A = this chain, B = another copy of it.
Amino acid sequence: MVTSRWAADAAPTATPRRRGAVLERAILDAALEQLSTVGWNGLTMEGVAAGAQTGKAAVYRRWPSKEDLVADALRAGLPRFDEVPDLGNVREDLLELCRRAREAMFSLPGSALRSVIHECDTRQAERFHAVIFEGVVEPTIDLLRKVITRGIERGEVRADAVNGYVLDAIPAMMMYRSKMCGCEWFDRDLEEMIDQLMVPLLRPGG
């Protein structure tokens, strides 16, 4: 094969022909990019193909619909939540979980996920329910449960603190304030949330 330097200069955006997993990864990344910039409503298969520097047919060959593509993109891109922090006390453990949640929230897949949650109507949202719950909500709640249970064992936390409302308190507040006031959850905000909301909510006695 003859490589022409002239041809390469003339088409600076051309990428080598990619196949299989490499092309698939590029398409999934482009879908996340689109979601976090133009949102669920703005995302088109054409836009994703352009972002991945491929043709629309290459996208449709793998994913028959926007819903299928986005579900796979979220599944592939979301970070895993499985390591329980162990910093010696419940306050520090919760802060560490919050810092990880913030990192995930403002990552490309996290911002894509938020646009899906906020923009999808109920019917569309059902399509993503499993991705969102199995991929994010349940693992997060599971880590919170472990951290709070360890706090109970240490005597730092009241014995009846493990319930749905306590476990949802941090996810609910983080979503609410980021949506309603554009809160970016700086370290100071996270500390205030833990000290004003979680510490009094969990303390024993009373």
Residues of chain A touching chain B, judged by Cβ–Cβ distance below 8 Å, are 39, 41, 117-119, 121-122, 132, 137, 158, 161, 163-166, 168-169, 171-173, 175-177, 179-180, 182, 192-193, 196-197, 200-201, 203-206
Contacts and interface: CB of A to CB of B under 8 A. Distances in A.
Interface of A, secondary structure class, is helix
A197 B161 CA distance: 9
Given A169-B169, A172-B175, A197-B169, A180 B137 contact: yes
A197 B165 CA distance: 6
Count copies of this chain in the complex.
2
Contact of A197 (B121, B171, B201): B201
Given A117-B179, A164-B196, 6 more contacts: A41-B119, A137-B180, A158-B200, A163-B196, A172-B173, A176-B176
A118 B175 CA distance: 11
Contacts of A196: 163-166
Contact of A177 (B168, B193, B206): B168
B180 A176 contact: no
Contacts of A192: 164-165
Contacts of A201: 197, 200-201
Contact of A182 (B122, B132, B168, B197): B122
Contacts of A200: 158, 161, 200-201, 206
A172 B119 CA distance: 18
